[in-house]
Chains A and B, each alone.
Chain A
């Protein structure tokens, strides 16, 4: 299980990456995180929402309310242009970090 600090740092690229695949809503995003991390990055579901709101406020993602077939309103999030740029930057950072550790721990380079 990842440390709290690491998790906190990784939520942004994680969410942005998921949303890059298309607009989606909160519950789906939590499930997706669980799915791809195989449980190693498990937050409590609730904590996702403050992060989403914050990202929205910073302009990296946008949200809209959509009426579902069951008659409930559901909030969908999508990545913005600014978000895509941010994701690129993040990706670079993380890859840098990754390559540093890869060297350090003698892992095979990914590329």
Chain B
């Protein structure tokens, strides 16, 4: 009996050792790289943010190069949206409050209502939310470009739907990009726990 117990303890010890060595080898928790990838000459190449051209609440042009080198949270919304957007905005404001002012932290909220959400309206929205352009851009642009980047890169959806309150439908996700413009996380912008994970994951990327 005592021999058996010793054996069990020894096995448990080995298992523990195995796990601790493994966690040493892999180091600290790392985020996966999400989204489509291709393998070229044995190297895995992940899709990165494509070129785009939008305008922010201060009428400034925003391009791909403005986001590269920064840790970015992206989402899709529209000002008059009565459903999930207010909750998403409130949650994103929590994320903003945590990291605003950090040089390499950036939020880009794409309006999908290109008719109503003009630059002055985006400006007023940002002011009422009390956020600074340096850290949080609200952008508009060609409707097809915005819907296109949502579907083709951000793994998000945005489209018109007259059955939906507000006439537009979009997914309520926050998308986390690393400094190379690769997707590192998708979070439910209406869920507190998910937003908590985004805040934690941002810390990882910002300290990379």
Q: Do A and B form a real pair?
A: no
B positions within 8 Å CB-CB of A? none
A positions within 8 Å CB-CB of B? none
